Structure 1
């Protein structure tokens, strides 16, 4: 099982430099509260460091991934047809194949509408979106605690 990183955009683009916007578009996070899952790599980490004040990220758990998959919307066909074309019988088998690395979440866009849109967190943010997570803020790396935020946003 490889490490999967969940990335959620927290801030809008007003006043942000062009290279930040370009990196966010590469990560496919064009709007606030968009979320994507990518396999962990050094190039991904480099991009995350660049756009750190605009996103939060961490390792997604199995439960968090199954919560995310419930938000998938198929493109122009039923959910069953979309899952069959990927070789999955239901959302659980899709989750297992993503966790095992057989399917890449960010490459499911032929069958599903990506990126996923999330709600603002229930109960609001606990800190400021202008401070890093380690300083009691919201943006930046948060490790396993991304799953707690995700639970409030699904």
Structure 2
């Protein structure tokens, strides 16, 4: 009996191979969704799933952030500019996955947990030391009385039973701060503007102010300090221009 000729491999069209590849990728995504409890929600793209190299890049970015923080703190200090006001307004303008956990912790302690939130603070050496550590992610300066009033009237709120409540009723302020002779929104604004004896209690009462995202060309995404043409760091009195554009 003659030996049968060896059969060649079956030809598989390219379109079939592509469909198999897409099917395998879809199966991989669904498996991840099930593991994360996200099945039935919006489907993830293949590009949304982090590969090992993505974690490496993120880790390196965080380490670089930590190194630069230490360099800013250890940098030789020139004579600091005179403080023009006891009141500082700080705005978080950047910061996502490239932050070191220590940087994120400082921002959280300042109540700046999300981008485009702002808080009032008393100007102290310890505050400026913290701001130096998180300088690439914040800008700050000395707000005038008009900026303080506009911010509180437009953006001011407190938290009651876990819900944000705007300061439209002076009774809310009196109930919380009446023992400190703060009976209404005007008293509240005055206490903040002059950094009064009960400034700390007022800050505990207020929630961090949620500002509007600025229009194009107001912020350029540069982590250089404001005095060198960037967005971050101390703007001194010019913080009022930024407040008016974000309020």
Report the TM-score, using the length of structure 2 for normalisation. Answer: 0.56
Confirm whether residue 82 of structure 1 aligns to residue 167 of structure 2.
no
Query: Which of the two has greater helix per residue?
Result: 2
Shift of 1:63: 0.7
Once the two structures are TM-superposed, the CA of residue 15 in structure 1 deviates from its matched residue by 1.1
SS in 1 for 2:204: coil
| Aligned 8 A contact 1:38 1:106 in 2 | no
Cα deviation for residue 38 of structure 1 reads 0.6
Do structure 1's residue 130 and structure 2's residue 220 form an aligned pair? no
Q: Does 1:18 align with 2:112?
A: no
- CA deviations over 1:14-73 (Å, ceiling 9, x no partner): 111111111111111010011110110010010000000000011111111111111112
> Does residue 1:117 correspond to 2:207, yes or no?
no
Alpha carbons of structure 1 residues 75 and 128: separation in structure 2 relative to 1, 3 Å = closer
Counterpart in 2 of 1:146? Answer: 239
> How big is the alpha-carbon RMSD for the aligned residues of Structure 1 and Structure 2?
2.1
Q: How many residues align?
A: 151
Q: Take 1:104 and 1:141, find their aligned partners in 2: how far apart are those partners?
A: 22
Shift of 1:126: 4.7
Q: Match of 2:188?
A: 94
TM-score, length of structure 1 as denominator length = 0.86
- Equivalent in the alignment of 1:4: 87
Stretches of structure 1 lacking an aligned partner (at least 5 in a row): none
Please state how far the C-alpha of 1:116 moved relative to its aligned partner: 1.0
Q: Looking at CA atoms only, which structure, 1 or 2, has the larger radius of gyration?
A: 2
Instruction: State whether residues 73 and 79 of structure 1, in contact with CA within 8 Å, keep that contact through their aligned partners in structure 2.
Output: no
Q: Say yes or no: does 1:41 pair with 2:124.
A: yes
